[in-house]
Structure 1
Amino acid sequence: MKIAVIDYGMGNLRSVTHALEHVAPEHQIILSGDPAVIAAADKVVFPGQGAMRDCMRELDNRGLREAVLASAREKPFLGICVGAQLLFEISEEGGRSQALGVFAGEVLRFPQARMQQGDTRLKVPHMGWNEVRQSRSHPLWDGIADGERFYFVHSYYMQPVDKGLTVGESDYPFGFTVAVARANIFATQFHPEKSHAAGLRLLANFVAWDGAA
């Protein structure tokens, strides 16, 4: 089996690739920015890091927009961090940046007015370990305890129009969506490749997943 990690110059690409190689040594893990290679892969991982507007520019400059959209329509697809946010329609980042529009909804910045937890003022970006509540069952949660901790680095969060998309939530300090899923797509705000045993289990589940919810 061939699993492509999309290389568009943005994201924690090597860490994601190495984590997949660790959990799937019998499969071919390909880090590539070639649309033809991505189209030929059995599964696709779409990581991301940095500003959404820059990520969209790089996708277009490298001719990868349609490869991403086609993969999201046709095969098991995992989005990570900005790679998850890019699946929505628009982001507050950079003055209403347009994204890919796979899912209806927005990506919003943590509002300074709400970043108070008791006497503690929470920092933005949200950085570090946080518990994830599983909103509903999914094959990628197999063997992962509800409330398990995953690693986050982000200043913006996903807000889907369809609440049924949400499969994972966390608090900072209010509740927000950290994982979404529909059909063959699963996407996380947290970084499974940086989340030790739980993250590796999620990646192993993705490798084993046939794309059915």
Structure 2
Amino acid sequence: MAEIIQGILEDMVTDLIDFQTREIFSASEVEDIIKTRRNLEYKLMRNNPQKKHFYSAIQYELELEELRQSKKDQLNLKNSSSDRSIVRRILSLFKRFTRAYKHDVDVWKEYINFCIRSKAQRDLSQVMARALQLHSGNEDMWIIGRYVEEKYRNDIESARALLQRAVEVNRLSRRLWVEYFKFEIEHCQDTNAPEIVFRYAVKEVPQVEGELMEIAKSKNLDIKIT
């Protein structure tokens, strides 16, 4: 365990030296960072690490990143390759967290949220795909995926494909049919698309008909019931 942790810490040396050289952190602050990370790693390397240890490690890095950014701004420093090192560390911690607690939906949500906030697009794609693979029956995950494609990536077709997949996998989900219907009302170029979704939704979940009709009415959309 000690050798593995030492290897992890050694991989951080270049970035920490850069922080010190640019006077973002002093020598004593860098020593404190190394000491704190070592102590946190020992807790994470145990068999069956506890959630609180992952949260402690992530929270420490979040606060460290906030401090780094503040000092960089105060010193009016140019960008450096080390600037994303703490973000990369947090992403790595989340990756390990979801490996240890892969069935915990809340952990995946926090991971996805951090990817969005830190603009880690490549990581976001991989994380979203893995989360949907593991939690295909979770409605929230599909809705988050739709948000990522539609609002974050501005990819309407990918958002549509994802919602289509969502209702294929979860045919009896009233909530997902409603989301899909509202999406098509908002984005369809083919005026028949909402009506098609309506028919499929009512076929799979008859009790959703009234809610969909109310949504259509609020959007001045005439749905013909056959």
Bin the TM-score by the shorter chain. Answer: under 0.3
Structure with the higher helix share, 1 or 2: 2
Structure with the higher strand share, 1 or 2: 1
When normalised by structure 2's length, the TM-score is 0.25
